[in-house]
Structure 1
Amino acid sequence: MAGKVGVGLLGLGTVGGGVASILQNPSERHPLVGELELIRVAVRDLNRPRPVALDESLLTTDPSAVIQDPAVDVVVEVIGGLEPARSLILQAIAAGKSVVTANKAVIARHGQEIAEAAAAARVYVLIEAAVGGGIPIIEPLKQSLGGNRINRVSGIINGTTNYILTRMAEEGAAYDAVLKDAQELGYAEADPAADVDGLDAADKIAILATLAFGGSVDRSAVPTDGISGLQGVDVDYANQLGYGVKLLAVAERMAERMPNSDDPLPLSLRVQPTLVPKDHPLAGVNGVNNAILVEGDPIGRVMFYGPGAGAGPTASAVVADILNIAGIRKASDGPGKVDPLLAASSWRPCSLVDSGDIRQRHYVRFKTKDAPGVIGNVGGCFGQRNVSIQSIVQFNASDAGAEIVVITHEVSQRQMNEALEAIQALPEVSGLAAHLGCL
């Protein structure tokens, strides 16, 4: 295919500005970057200051003008949010344009619809920047690890919460104070709910699960718990017991799918604050960094680590996707030829198991009276529900009461809930103060 590959950009904020900067400065990058040409850019306000200097003739306030421009081969969507992003992506596909997007919210909720539209139109929708910022994880799951039977994907995939938890652990700082610092530094939004309540991580693990296990999952059914209710005392107790606390997102297969069966592959997904042993690969991931651990057969464990957000890392992932599409277009001398590994459509049905069937270890902290027999009664309630205990420790005993911290072996969520209900009914137990996951 002769000539440049035309790029249309929807959005010129932090990430869009980073993409434009790379395209305008191809020197010392891969030679194919020099074959990319920025054709049109859609912005909300023509008079707003820009993160990168652009010729005013490239700018428009009409996204459709970018999509319909015949010189645009690849549409890059970096405006964020659900709408109009979803509609614009579908509009670009209908116009025969491949799409690159960093929009995790749209892909997590409407990925199947978008993938089907792209397959019908024989174009690509690539999403490397939607998960992990600059970490290359999407394409490895689709291609490099394709010969493996993936059993589990877990990781730290929200930099804001990891920054907060790192500060709480290293400095003993209070959650509210660190959140305020994160907002001042630009790591957290003015409304931090998407990060601290685990919603951002749930979007991302839904996407990773779809790629790792071959079928779409229901994003709305992912059990999600954030860090906004986490207390510093639990971070401290975890440290004393040999653990760090991380907001982990986990996707794992729960059972085998019978050969030639139409039954969906059962999967367990969850997002929650989790105790991580200090010798675990994820325990040393600190600050705003992300890490994703993929476990499969025959490869074993592979970890992808790096900056999970920001203009530079995310723009890097966006441009990598543009280069993938540009390379295919040039090799095939035009659109219409689709690489099945690069496109990576769903290839089997998957379903989420009932939340009560999710199995993991647990950390729980109870407020109790400081009296003889309390630990025995708590342990008895666990034992009667077949919940095996790894450790049970009493902290801060005084006339005012005590705190009992329990770490269990792996157990179903249903059994754990039944045991907790029985324990909270004990007269010497005043309440369940904390409940976290545990690796």
Structure 2
Amino acid sequence: MSELITPNVADEELALLTDLYQLTMTQAYWKESLHETPATFSLFFRKLPASRRFILACGQQHAAAMLSQLRFNDTAIKRLKNTQMFDTGFLDWLANWRFEGDIWTVPEGTPLFPNEPLLEVDAPIGQAQLLESLVMNLVQLETTLATKAARITWAAGDHPVVDFGMRRMHGIDAAVRGVRAYKTAGLHGTSNVLGGLRHDLALNGTMAHSYILAHDDERDAFRAFARHYANTTLLVDTYDTITGVERVIDLLREEPSLTVGAVRLDSGDLGDLAKRARALLDDAGHSEIKIIASSGLDEHSIAELINDEAPIDAFGVGTQMGVSADAPVIDLSYKLVEYAGQPRVKYSTGKVNLPSRKQVYRRQDAQGRYCGDVIALRDETGLDGEALLAPLVKGGELQTATLAQTENAPARVREALRHFPTHVTALEEGESDYTVEESAALRDLAKKA
């Protein structure tokens, strides 16, 4: 029965969260005595989704920290033994498996473009191969959600955005880890209690229509909730939005000791209703009461409301962000790019990768704007720009100094986006003209590999 109610993957099970072929390939390396051969794997994407002009790398440092602690415990070994697919000697080797390599990552919240590595793993192939499925899963989700959230916060400008999306997200793990991605992208709060507490993002919430409907009169519901919670937010559209706003005003007139921080609009023509609600509140002397809007919002509808000068103070965004509805996947790849000191290239049609260990340099023009990136070999010297990749795990040990250098991701994300040209941050579908080129040394190596 306990199997039926286990809510998600326990930490001690993470080593088993992989595809079968990772284990069978690793056993094959072990049988052929190749498992100690040094290798480098690179995590990258080849093309952007049609509705994206950049992706916001997120989760790669989280993944690196987790992978450095990965273990096959006694229970995992017993479960693998029960499959009768693995040799006893290989299972003994797995029982002592530890990641002892290096993981280079870009900082959380780094805008990236096709073929630029989010991370690279340098380790014996028997260690690096086993990480593939888990690292892709961890980074895929957070990068997808952070990219969508970054577009939404960029569209909202100085208006706070709050996550309301938990109920329709793809599973409880996504709902919790998504809050981490939202925080990286600059959201101001979340209604998700566990996600907010775990990732230190402010908890925000209002009420549901069911609370209003549970009272015989909307005014009684407003009065009771305002008495329970000072400076609360009241949902005013259960019956008629404007009538709801008028009832809030009447309530404050009848009981001046009560405080209402905001009214929430959750249906209808949000721009028109916000203007009418603002006029009513201001005329009644309640300019301090803010207006929060929700209801199927995304970056495009938010931008339209702001362009129309709708007097909305904050936005609650749910499903569109929670599932990244217009681009729910980024086609990440984790590919072997160096083996036994030699570059490796996959030549499959449409799936060619850049060889060897790499670094990305981001260049700025005289005005401080980003003007292009260079993907280079990691040991190249004399290249201009900021090097984006740094070792977060060395010899299997997490480098806390590197991790500390990349804190305060929301501020760095907003600052980075301000430095890109507008064709990168534009919300409309279309190609970005941002230049990403390969260094001469990398091009030459790719031709020879």
| TM-score over 0.5 (shorter chain) | no
Q: Which has the larger radius of gyration?
A: 2
Which structure has greater strand proportion?
1
Q: Flag the structure with more relative contact order, 1 or 2, with Cα contacts below 8 A and sequence separation at least 6.
A: 2
TM-score by length of 1: 0.29
TM-score by length of 2: 0.29
